[in-house]
């Protein structure tokens, strides 16, 4: 075997092992559809037959009036992205916005909603799912409970309260993790709905509502906010993580066979070179 | 070789991918899952709801009681809410009037039990929550408010409920109970009159029970029927009858007279009641004791009492005595020499036992016990003039009795003498032959009595010896006379002692370290230059700088600058040229510089 063939086989084997590892090694990226862990969206994808969106321009081609777009981010959206979302809402789409308060507020400010998500976290010692960091709220609109994780509360005017925390919850204004004498206790809005154009903008202050950990408890509520439309899950942010992006791409093709075909092709190539020598 | 490269490459690929995808394993520690402060607030809200009988109280109590907690806190939490829920259940039933006649007795007992159970359970729970609350000031504030609300329930609400239940249960129209007064003092006799509504109604029993505890304290048997009414007299219950009813050492207790009558015709049973209060007084007992004593002293206590009481006297944990206080002043003596006391503050406590008419009382008086040290007089003059190299120290035993004392004398930490001090002694201590010296003198006086602690006298004494001073003076004078005019011989003598070369080094070193440091100077002109600088108080050149660097650094004014520049050139020539320069020229320049400086 020539030296350049040895190098070629080595590289091919490396790529083979690398690709296999990407698929086999579990994703830990929060809110990623490839993540089968507690903070992933793999169950959301399968439960609601959702499609993955890695490029927002896809929204131009969908039937907005029959689509709900789930947008969860930790950093601010760009102006061009917000422009696309504006068109989507104007065409009658349902947009669910969740993530960090900064992100939700940036969207709310863009649409000039007069609504904001406060930084203070809501805790609940009484109505919770295991501990006070998982308050259970209730949606009168959906007639369903909502299990959350460290939700923030929504303030402002002109919105419909989609879900609120229990009477026993309190807002930790100073961020020390405990209630103080001057901190309010009672119901806090944790999900809100506002009409924008012909569509609905839904703010959910706890993105964990949609994760694998809590989706079983929230199936009724999530189904209600999706409203029987096709669900598109935003995965644009995973583009910054090449390996996660490859995982998401592998899933977005419908089945893992796409990746398997690639792996098999490389393997065949390696075997060909090895046996040709023999 | 090729295969190993292959394996390395493959492994490197795997490691690279693993490192990229590795999950975050380190997580910051956050707040505890249990927020005790929140539980305190929930408890306060629950109490508010219970007191105000809010519509959602049952839901609130039920929801909060289901909070899942770990450890002991869970037990306290469940108990507190169980008790609160039980109380609320009775409260609602009493207010709605849904308690049947058969349940009256049990309800009364349950409410009476709740009166003692509720504060205990809530207090334990609140204490537990306070210990885990994140903010002590927060828990103090909530605790105070909770305590007020529990007090309101126990002191106002429950007695009111009991009264409502009893009123419902009693059939006052059939029995009319009258007492000679509503308030009695302990020891008084109460007159009771019970009128029955019909001639066929006969009194079955009359008893006095505590209120609201409902414990039976007295059965009134001696009842007479006169003029259509039952009459009786009874001595109001004494405090001893409250034993086992958790007497709270309060001055006022409530009781009720419960009368049960039966109609022989209809077979009906009638129950009537009448409440009254008994006031118990506090005994007037006062204790007088000195505020401080010395160890071993006799402690005298004067205790004034307005009556005869059994009491116990306790002096800290070291002494206790059961006593009977008689009216007037009684004296008690405690011999502290027999007690193993250390110095400090000791409480004297007198526990006066309650009688049938008086409450119990605890009196406390603190006594400071200080150490006892021997009284010793030390006679010593400072400075001390000693002509025989001995210092005389006078020690006087100041104890009144013939207490034997032992003295140990130390000079500079060394023991120099031990003495038995019966009355007084004069100790002579050797202090050396030096004309003058300072000695550290320490005298330790110990007693044979175990209650006394050692007395320590310390002093630095200046000791002069005139004899050795005079001798030293004479010897010095003699030496001066002998060596006068023989300095040269002395120097030869010194040179003979010091090896060759060392004298030179010593001499030069004394001349000027600075002068010789940078260069090996063999120039008188340079020395004059340095001397001139020194005279004019100009800092001399440092070891690391040349004369020119020093000149540039020094801010000479004109015309001094020109003079020193010429002087510097002369020095350099003298130092480095083969021909020596004129010393007179140098002197002229030096004088010129000094002259300018003077101007």
* Rounded-to-integer distance, Cα A98 and Cα A202, Å: 8
CA–chain centroid gap for B57, Å, is 45
Of B410 and B112, the structure prediction assigns the larger pLDDT to B410
Least confident of A98-102, A183-187, A260-264: A260-264
Residue in A closest to B42 by C-alpha: A168
**Residues B392-409: pLDDT tens digits?**
888 888 877 667 788 899
CB–CB contact A176 B31 (8 Å): yes
Q: CB burial class (10 A; 0-12, 13-18, 19+) of residue A73? A: buried
CB–CB contact A168 B64 (8 Å): yes
Nearest to B6 among A9, A21, A180 (CB): A9
Say yes or no to pLDDT of B63 above 60.
Answer: yes
**Residues B413-435: pLDDT tens digits?**
888 888 888 888 888 888 888 88
Q: Which two tokens stand for residue B50?
A: 């219970």
Q: Which two tokens stand for residue B539?
A: 């800092």
**Residues B169-186: pLDDT tens digits?**
766 667 888 899 989 998
Rounded to the nearest angstrom, the minimum Cα separation between B97 and chain A is 31
Q: What is the pLDDT of residue B281?
A: 87
CB–CB contact B5 A6 (8 Å): yes
Q: Tell me the CB-side half-sphere exposure of residue B279, using CA atoms within 13 A.
A: 7
Residue in A closest to B7 by C-alpha: A10
Nearest to A131 among B18, B33, B135 (CB): B33
Say yes or no to pLDDT of B105 above 70.
Answer: yes
CB–CB contact A14 B10 (8 Å): yes
**Residues A207-259: pLDDT tens digits?**
999 999 999 999 999 999 999 999 999 998 888 888 888 888 777 755 455 66
Q: What is the pLDDT of residue A257?
A: 59
Rounded to the nearest angstrom, the minimum Cα separation between A132 and chain B is 6
Tell me which chain A residues have a C-beta less than 8 angstroms from the C-beta of B142.
Answer: 181
Say yes or no to pLDDT of B484 above 70.
Answer: no
Residue in A closest to B70 by C-alpha: A131
CB–CB contact A125 B24 (8 Å): no
* Rounded-to-integer distance, Cα B568 and Cα B548, Å: 8
Q: What is the pLDDT of residue A68?
A: 95
User: Which percentage of chain B shows pLDDT scores above 70?
Assistant: 86
Residue in A closest to B1 by C-alpha: A6
Q: Which two tokens stand for residue B322?
A: 């059961």
Q: What is the pLDDT of residue B389?
A: 84
Residue in A closest to B10 by C-alpha: A14
User: Which percentage of chain A shows pLDDT scores above 90?
Assistant: 56
User: Which percentage of chain A shows pLDDT scores above 70?
Assistant: 94
Q: Is A123 on the interface with B (CB under 8 A)?
A: yes
Q: What is the pLDDT of residue A259?
A: 63
CB–CB contact B6 A13 (8 Å): yes
Q: What is the pLDDT of residue A2?
A: 67
CB–CB contact A1 B2 (8 Å): yes
Q: What is the pLDDT of residue B297?
A: 82
* CA nearest neighbour of B62 among A90, A75, A126, A48: A126
Q: What is the pLDDT of residue A250?
A: 75
User: Which percentage of chain B shows pLDDT scores above 90?
Assistant: 14
Q: Concatenated DSSP letters for B170-239? A: --TTTEEEEES-SEEETT-EEEEEEEESSTTEEEEEEEEEEETT--EEEE----EEETTEEEEEEEPPPG
Nearest to B18 among A14, A21, A132 (CB): A21
Say yes or no to pLDDT of B454 above 70.
Answer: yes
Longest dimension (CA), chain A: 81
Q: What is the pLDDT of residue A5?
A: 72
Q: What is the pLDDT of residue B25?
A: 41
Of A9 and A58, the structure prediction assigns the larger pLDDT to A58
CB–CB contact B67 A131 (8 Å): no
* Rounded-to-integer distance, Cα B130 and Cα B186, Å: 41
Q: Which of A21, A122, A187, A246 to mutate to test the interface with B (most CBs of B within 10 A)?
A: A21
Nearest to A178 among B9, B45, B134 (CB): B134
Rounded to the nearest angstrom, the minimum Cα separation between A228 and chain B is 34
Whole-complex ipTM: 0.83
Give me chain A's average pLDDT, please. Answer: 87
Q: Is A21 on the interface with B (CB under 8 A)?
A: yes
**Residues A102-127: pLDDT tens digits?**
999 999 999 998 999 999 999 999 99
Say yes or no to pLDDT of A194 above 90.
Answer: yes
Contact between residue A34 and residue A249 where contact means Cβ atoms under 8 Å apart: no
Rounded to the nearest angstrom, the minimum Cα separation between B154 and chain A is 26
Q: Which of B14, B18, B21, B49 to mutate to test the interface with A (most CBs of A within 10 A)?
A: B21
CB–CB contact B17 A11 (8 Å): no
Nearest to B13 among A18, A28, A185 (CB): A18
3-state DSSP assignment of residue B134: coil
**Residues B284-312: pLDDT tens digits?**
999 998 888 888 888 888 999 998 999 99
Rounded to the nearest angstrom, the minimum Cα separation between B126 and chain A is 16
Q: CB burial class (10 A; 0-12, 13-18, 19+) of residue B79? A: middle
* CA nearest neighbour of A149 among A217, A226, A227, A76: A217
Q: What is the pLDDT of residue B38?
A: 92
Q: Which two tokens stand for residue B142?
A: 């909530």
Nearest to A125 among B14, B21, B35 (CB): B35
Nearest to A123 among B16, B35, B66 (CB): B35
Residue in B closest to A6 by C-alpha: B2
Contact between residue B589 and residue B566 where contact means Cβ atoms under 8 Å apart: yes
Tell me which chain A residues have a C-beta less than 8 angstroms from the C-beta of B12.
Answer: 14
Say yes or no to pLDDT of A155 above 80.
Answer: yes
CB–CB contact A181 B5 (8 Å): no
Rounded to the nearest angstrom, the minimum Cα separation between A18 and chain B is 6
Q: Is A274 on the interface with B (CB under 8 A)?
A: no
Nearest to A180 among B6, B64, B138 (CB): B138
Q: Which of B2, B38, B46 to mutate to test the interface with A (most CBs of A within 10 A)?
A: B38
CB–CB contact A6 B6 (8 Å): yes
* Rounded-to-integer distance, Cα B100 and Cα B102, Å: 5
Q: What is the pLDDT of residue B434?
A: 85
**Residues B543-556: pLDDT tens digits?**
788 888 888 888 88
């Amino acid at each position: 075997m020539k030296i350049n063939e040895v190098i070629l086989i080595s590289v091919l084997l490396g790529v083979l092992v690398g690709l296999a590892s990407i698929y086999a090694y579990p994703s830990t990226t929060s809110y990623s559809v490839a993540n089968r862990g507690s903070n992933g969206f793999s169950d959301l994808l399968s439960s609601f037959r959702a499609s993955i969106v890695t490029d927002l321009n896809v929204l131009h081609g969908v039937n907005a009036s029959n689509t709900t777009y789930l947008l969860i981010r930790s950093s601010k959206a760009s102006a061009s992205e917000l422009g696309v979302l504006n068109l989507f809402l104007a065409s009658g789409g349902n947009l669910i916005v969740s993530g960090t308060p900064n992100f939700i507020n940036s969207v709310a400010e863009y649409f000039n909603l007069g609504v904001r998500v406060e930084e203070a976290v809501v805790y609940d010692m009484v109505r919770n799912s295991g501990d006070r960091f998982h308050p259970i709220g209730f949606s009168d609109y959906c007639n369903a409970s909502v299990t959350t994780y460290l939700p923030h509360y929504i303030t402002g005017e002109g919105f419909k309260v989609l879900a609120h925390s229990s009477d026993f919850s309190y807002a930790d204004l100073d961020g020390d993790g405990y209630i103080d004498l001057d901190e309010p206790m009672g119901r806090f809005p944790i999900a809100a709905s506002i009409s924008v154009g012909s569509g609905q903008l839904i703010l959910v202050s706890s993105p964990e509502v949609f994760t694998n950990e809590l989706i079983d408890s929230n199936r009724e509520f999530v189904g209600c906010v999706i409203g029987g439309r096709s669900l598109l899950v935003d995965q644009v942010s995973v583009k910054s993580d090449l390996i996660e992006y490859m995982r998401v791409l592998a899933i977005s093709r419908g089945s893992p066979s796409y990746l398997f075909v690639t792996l098999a092709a490389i393997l065949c190539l390696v075997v060909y070179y090895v046996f040709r020598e023999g | 070789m090729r295969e190993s490269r292959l394996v390395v490459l493959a492994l490197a690929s795997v490691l690279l991918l693993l490192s990229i995808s590795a999950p975050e394993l380190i997580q910051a520690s956050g707040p505890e899952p249990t927020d005790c402060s929140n539980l305190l607030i929930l408890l306060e809200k629950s109490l508010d709801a219970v007191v105000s009988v809010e519509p959602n109280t049952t839901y609130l109590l039920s929801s909060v009681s289901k909070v899942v907690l770990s450890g002991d806190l869970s037990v306290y939490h469940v108990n507190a809410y169980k008790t609160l829920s039980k109380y609320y259940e009775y409260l609602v039933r009493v207010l709605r009037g849904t308690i049947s006649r058969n349940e009256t007795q049990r309800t009364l007992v349950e409410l009476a039990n709740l009166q003692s159970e509720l504060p205990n359970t809530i207090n334990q729970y609140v204490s537990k929550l306070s210990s885990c609350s994140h903010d002590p000031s927060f828990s103090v504030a909530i605790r105070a408010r909770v305590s007020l609300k529990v007090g309101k329930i126990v002191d106002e609400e429950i007695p009111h409920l009991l009264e409502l239940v009893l009123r419902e249960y009693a059939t006052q129209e059939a029995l009319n109970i009258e007492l000679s007064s509503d308030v009695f003092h302990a020891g008084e006799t109460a007159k009771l009159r019970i009128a029955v509504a019909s001639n066929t109604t006969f009194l079955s029993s009359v008893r006095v029970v505590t209120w609201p505890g409902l414990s039976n304290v007295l059965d009134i048997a001696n009842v007479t029927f006169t003029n259509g009414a039952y009459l009786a007299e009874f001595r109001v219950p004494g405090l001893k009858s409250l034993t086992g009813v958790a007497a709270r050492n309060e001055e006022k207790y409530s009781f009720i007279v419960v009368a049960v009558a039966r109609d022989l015709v209809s077979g009906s049973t009638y129950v009537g009641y009448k409440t009254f209060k008994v006031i118990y007084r506090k005994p007037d007992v006062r204790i007088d004791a000195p505020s401080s004593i010395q160890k071993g002293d006799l402690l005298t206590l004067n205790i004034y009492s307005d009556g005869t009481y059994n009491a116990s006297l306790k002096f800290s944990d070291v002494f206790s005595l059961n006593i009977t206080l008689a009216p007037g002043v009684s004296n008690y003596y405690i011999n502290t020499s027999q007690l193993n006391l250390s110095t400090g503050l000791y409480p004297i406590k007198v526990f006066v036992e309650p009688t049938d008419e008086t409450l119990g009382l605890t009196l406390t008086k603190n006594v400071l016990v200080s150490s006892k040290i021997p009284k010793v007089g030390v006679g010593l003059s400072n400075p001390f003039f000693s002509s025989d190299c001995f210092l005389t120290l006078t020690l006087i035993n100041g104890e009144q009795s013939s207490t034997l004392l032992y003295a140990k004398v130390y000079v500079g930490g060394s023991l120099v003498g031990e003495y038995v001090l019966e009355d007084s002694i004069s100790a002579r201590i050797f202090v050396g032959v030096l004309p003058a010296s300072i000695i550290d003198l320490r005298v330790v006086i110990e007693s044979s009595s175990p209650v006394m602690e050692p007395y320590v006298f310390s002093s630095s004494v200046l000791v002069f010896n005139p004899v050795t001073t005079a001798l030293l003076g004479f010897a010095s004078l003699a030496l001066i006379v002998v060596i006068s005019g023989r300095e040269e011989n002395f120097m030869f003598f010194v040179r003979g002692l010091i090896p060759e070369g060392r004298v030179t080094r010593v001499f030069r070193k004394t001349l000027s370290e600075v002068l010789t440091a940078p260069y090996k100077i063999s120039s008188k002109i340079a020395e004059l230059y340095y001397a001139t600088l020194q005279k004019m108080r100009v800092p001399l050149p440092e070891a690391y700088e040349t004369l020119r660097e020093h000149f540039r650094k020094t801010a000479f004014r004109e015309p001094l600058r020109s003079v020193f520049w010429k002087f510097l050139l002369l020095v350099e020539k003298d130092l480095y040229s083969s021909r020596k320069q004129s010393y007179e020229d140098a002197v002229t320049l030096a004088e010129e510089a000094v002259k300018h400086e003077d101007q």
